[in-house]
Amino acid sequence: DNLLKEVNQIQGERQEGQQAMGDDSTGADDGEELPVEAASFYYDEWDFRAADYKPRWCRVQEQRGESGTSNYYTETLHEHTQLVQETRKQFEMLRPEMFRKMKRLTDGEDYDLDAVIEWYTEKIAGATSETKLFYRRNKVDRDVAVAFLLDVSASTDEEIQKHHEQRQDDQFDDDPRKYLSWWAQRRAEAARHPGKRIIDLEKEATVLLIEALETIGDKYGVYGFSGYGRDNVEFFVYKDMDEPFGDRIKERIDKIAPVRSTRMGPAIRHCIWKLQNTDAKVKILMLLSDGRPQDHGYGRDRTEKEYAIHDTKMALTEARREGMVPFALTVDRAGHDYLKQMCQDMAYEVVADIESLPRRLPALYRRLTG
C-alpha cells in the first residue's frame, strides 16, 4: 500500500509539473516580452587630479526598459497634434534627393548628352578622347545615426510650477476657516489636475523626436541612465539602434520613470560603444539632463562638483575623438555655470523655458543634421 501511495504521488507530481510547463509555454505566446537580466559593461573613469584614467572603474548594467501600454504614446501625439504635423513637415524637408546623376561614365543607363557632343566635336577635330558617354542615377541615402540619452535621475520627478501663487498677508483676514477652505480647494485642484514633472516633458519630447526620426528614416536609439555608485550605473534601453520601431517601443516609453543619481561619464561611454557598433557616416550623441552630474563616490565627497564635471567632459571628448558629434541639452537654468566648463567648444544649450522642450528638441536635432 505504501509503495502504491508513493507511485501515485510521483505520478501526481509529474502531472502537476507538465501542467505548469504547459502554462509557461502558453504564457510565452501572449505577446509580452520575457524579462532579460542586466548585462554588465566596464568602463574607465577620468581622474583629473591624477591626469589619468581609473581602469575598469565603473560597471554599467544595461537592461531593457519596463513595458507599460502604448496608450501614453498615442495620447501624447493627440495632445500635440499641431506640433507633430509641423515637425513632420520640417523633417520631410531634410530628406535628400532620391537620385543623383553621375555623369561621364563608361557604362550607364543612358547617354550623357554633353559628353556625347564633346566627344563628337573632338572626333571631327581628329583628337582622341575617352568614351565616357553615359550617366547613371545613383540612389542617395541619408546616413545618420543618433544615440539619445535621457537623464532619469530622481530629480526629474520634480513638478514644474509655471505660476506660483503669492498669498498676501491679509488674504485670509486671520480667519482659519478661510484658510482651510482655500487649502482644501487647492488640494482638490491638484488632485484633479496634477502638475507635470520634468520626466513627463522628457517623455513628451522623446515621443515627438521619435516621430520626426521615423519620418526621415535616421537610425536611432533611445536610452536612459541613473544608478547609485560606480558599480551600479543603470542603463535602460527603450529602443536600441538596430531595433525596429513598434508597439513594444511605445510601451517602454510609457514606463520611463525617475530612479536614482546621475553618473554621466560611464553612460556616455556606453552610448559611444553603441554608436561605434552602428554603421553610419554621421553619428550624433544627444544628452538630455536636468542638472549637473553627481553620484555617490563621484568625487571626494557628495559636495564636490569638479571631479564629476571633468569625467563627463572627458567622456564627451572621447565621443568627438571617435568622429561623433556630442550635444548636451539641459533644462537646468543654472546649466551655463557647468556646461561651459563641461562642454567648452562642444555644442550645448540651456532650455530656459522647460515647457518648450517638446518643441525645442526636434528643432535642435534638425539643426544638427540639416
- Under DSSP, is residue 23 helix (H, G, I), strand (E, B) or coil? helix
Tally of CB atoms within 10 A around 298? 25
Burial class (CB in 10 A: 0-12, 13-18, 19+), 337: middle
What's residue 126's pLDDT?
A: 77
pLDDT in tens, 188-206: 665 665 678 999 999 999 9
Question: How high is the mean pLDDT in each 10-residue block of the chain (370 residues)?
Answer: 41 43 42 70 97 97 96 95 90 67 79 83 77 73 91 91 41 57 63 79 95 91 96 97 96 96 97 97 95 92 89 97 96 89 91 88 87
What's residue 122's pLDDT?
A: 81
Tell me the three cell numbers of residue 77.
501625439
Q: What's the CA gap between 197 and 202, in Å, rounded?
A: 9
Q: Where are the domains of the chain?
A: 39-95+142-158+172-369, 99-139
Q: At what angle do helices 357-369 and 198-216 cross, to 10 degrees?
A: 40
Half-sphere exposure of 112 (CA within 13 A, CB side): 19
User: 9-20 as b/e, with b when 16 or more CB fall inside 10 Å?
Assistant: eeeeeeeeeeee
Sign of CA dihedral 293, 312, 354, 189: negative
Phi and psi (nearest 5°) for 335?
Answer: -65, -30
Pick the CATH number of 39-95+142-158+172-369 from 3.40.50.970, 3.20.20.70, 3.40.50.410, 3.30.9.90: 3.40.50.410
Tell me the three cell numbers of residue 311.
569625467
What's residue 327's pLDDT?
A: 96
What's residue 114's pLDDT?
A: 83
Q: What's the CA gap between 10 and 32, in Å, rounded?
A: 33
What's residue 195's pLDDT?
A: 79
Contact yes or no for 135/108 (Cβ under 8 A) = yes
pLDDT in tens, 287-299: 999 999 999 999 9
What's residue 284's pLDDT?
A: 96
